[in-house]
Every structure is written in structure tokens, then in C-alpha cells.
Structure 1
Amino acid sequence: MLLAIAGISLRELTRRRAALLLVIALPLAFYAARSDEPGQAVRFLALGVGWAVATLALFSHVGSRHLDRRLAVVGASPTALLLGRQLALLGTGFTIAGAYLVLVAVAQDVERLWAVALLLGTTVLVAAPLGAVVSLALPRELEGALALLAVMATQMLADPEGTLAKVLPLWSTRELTTYAVDATGEEFLHRGLLHFAAAFALCACGAWAAAVVRLRPSTPPEPVPATAA
């Protein structure tokens, strides 16, 4: 069941070639804007990958509403539908992240390339369920994509040491980027992984709750009793 749903999700995404290519290309623009500074370039690239994967997740979950309702009627559980779509999105996200990891390896002098791989991987893991959560709060693609872009822009611009930045889902990118590029102590790695674990747990639980709410059976209105003439 999971593989079948994942296959359906991948086919849905590949049908929208123009949107898919634009979303995949956006992290490159983020990276190119700061390519002269390795730390900023890698962090902005990770945030761009996060936005791309979250947006693809938003598109997938919004576009599949009617199909998922039909599958739920024939016995598919909300959990299976969510996991199947997330499997497809994670596969797509890791492919995008892998391509950009090659770019970093070729174009940047990074002390710990494996930590860049960890950075991009954790970003994908948070972004995929984040897009699913937003698809319930904002069930239209344009509004959802703008909301995700606002989250990523705030993550970029907010003071990394401030409270606002730390409560956003991808603050871990700052700590992991510092560890990867500047070869700092392992406290940056530990803080980044701890924040990632908390953000992933919250987004995953939120995505599951969103799937349950979205596919809950609707109860027909109770018939109004006829009044005696």
C-alpha cells in the first residue's frame, strides 16, 4: 500500500514539470546569492532546499485531497496515505539534496563535507512534514507557498541568537552549517541535532494530525422531524 501511494505521488509531481523545475531551481538562486561566503552559501542553500521540499509536499497534499478521500473510502488509513506520500517526497528531497551536495563539494572548500550531507538530510526530513501541516492550515497552493516562503525568509533574516529564530523549524541549519564549514566544536553539532529532533517530532505529529483531520468521515446532518399539520 505504501509503495503504491508513493508511486501515485511521484507521478502526480512529475506531471507538473514547470512547477517542479522552478521549485528545484530556487535553492540554486539562494546559493548563488551568497556563493562568495561558504558559510552563508551553504546555509542559504539548505534553506532553499527546505522551501523546495516543503512546497512540493504542500502541492502533493493539496492536489491529492479528492483522491485520498476516495482511497480512504475503500479502506486506506490516513496514516498509510500520509506515510506513502511522505516516502515519495523524502525520496525526491534526498535526490535534490544529493545533487546540491555535489555542487558544494565541487565549488566550496568545506572542512566537513559529511556534515553538509547531514545538514541537507535533516532539512529534508523537517521540510516534508512541514509542507503537509501547512496544507491543512492553508488548503490553496498559492497561499501555502507564500506562507512557507515567509517562514524561510524570517529564518534567514532573524537574529540566529534570538528567540524567534530558535522557534522556527530550520534553526538547526545555522548550527550544523557552522559545524560543517568552520570546523567548530561538537556543541554546535549537538545543538543542531537536538533542535532538528524537536522540529521533526513536532512537524511529523502535526502532519499526522492534519491527515486524520483532513480525512475524517463527514457526518450527515440529522433529519429534521416532520411537524404535525
Structure 2
Amino acid sequence: MRDGHSDLMETLLPQLALDLSGPAPAELGRLFDVPVTRVHLESGFGGGEHLIAMALADPDLGLIGVEPFVNGMAKALAAIERHGLAGRIRLHNADSVPLLDWLPPASLDRLYLLYPDPWPKKRHWKRRFVDRANLDRIARVLRPGAEFRFASDWADYVDWTLARLLAHEAFRWTAATADDWRRPWDGWPGTRYEAKALREGRVPAYLRVERR
């Protein structure tokens, strides 16, 4: 990690990190230093490319980013400082599950899970983030009509995720044509994981489901 990034982990991260030891505010907009009209969460933001792009594209949007790995968090902190986004971003540098359990019901306008670890070996499938318990958690924190968006370059994990979403009574798949899952949604900035997948010949898929 660069020296500057290390300094941000010690100075900026404590300012932006969510404190889960107490109750969450009933209105998530209170987490931020400036007024926001909507709140999105990205679980496992990697290097932060998508998180930062969302913040830059919409000045009324509040964002919660989750990333347990130090290097990814440090890169995101550097971008947050560079673009002056600290007022509208809050961070959690650990697993998403405690955060999802902490958030109030029906408090998020969108949740992203982009290129999660696919755990490709069958004996590791139980470690995949998408399971019934976590979909229950996601459904609880999304407002009616809000979206859960998922992207992956592992066809098996895409099939796995879609099967569980279709079986869950809280979600409705909104796709009408094949292009609705073959092409990224509007405003997609791309990520380094996506670029690597394309270089290696894997084709990403982009799923969108609506909270009923």
C-alpha cells in the first residue's frame, strides 16, 4: 500500500466508517453530512470504480460502500478524497452481513453486488454470498420498488443467483429481452474485474430484480 493510502486508512476511514455498535438512524439520510434524496449500497466494491462513478454522476445520491480488503478500501479512500466526496459516502470495512442486519427495514433505494467471489469449486459453493438467508436480508432493507443489481462473469454463479432470485417471493425479475441481462445498465462505468474477465474470454451478465 502506498504511504498516502496508509495515511488515509488512519485518518479518513475513521471519519467515514459506520459505527454498528448503536442503532441505525430511522432515516439513512442522517448518516451523511449533506442532504441526499436516495441511498444506495454496494457490497464488495473492489477498487471503488463503480462506487465513485455513482457518486460523481448524481450529487443527490448517498452511498454506503462495503469492502473488507485493505487495498480496495485504500484506493476508494484516495478517490473519495481526490473528488471531495466524503460528505456523501459512508464505508464499512468488514463483512456485509452485520451491516445488512443493522440497517433499518425498507431503507435502501438500491443494492449492488458486483463480481462477487464465485467460489467456483463445488465444495465451496456454500460460501457464495447469494443464498436464501442473505436474500432475505437484502429484501428486508430494500424499499418496495427498489432494485437489487448483480453482475458476474461466472456463468454458473449467474445461473445460481437467478434461480434463487426467481424462487424468492420478495423479488421480481424485470428482464424483457436477452439484452436486459447481456448488456450493463445505463451509466455502467466498467470495473477492473470486468476488464479482466473480458480479456480472459468470459462474458459478464447483469441481473436486475425489483423488490415487490
- TM-score of the alignment, normalized to the shorter chain, above 0.5: no
Between Structure 1 and Structure 2, the one with more helix by share is: 1
Higher relative contact order at CA 8 Å, sep ≥6: structure 1 or structure 2? 1
Between Structure 1 and Structure 2, the one with more strand by share is: 2
TM norm structure 1: 0.26
If you compute each CA radius of gyration, which structure gives the higher value, 1 or 2?
1
TM norm structure 2: 0.28
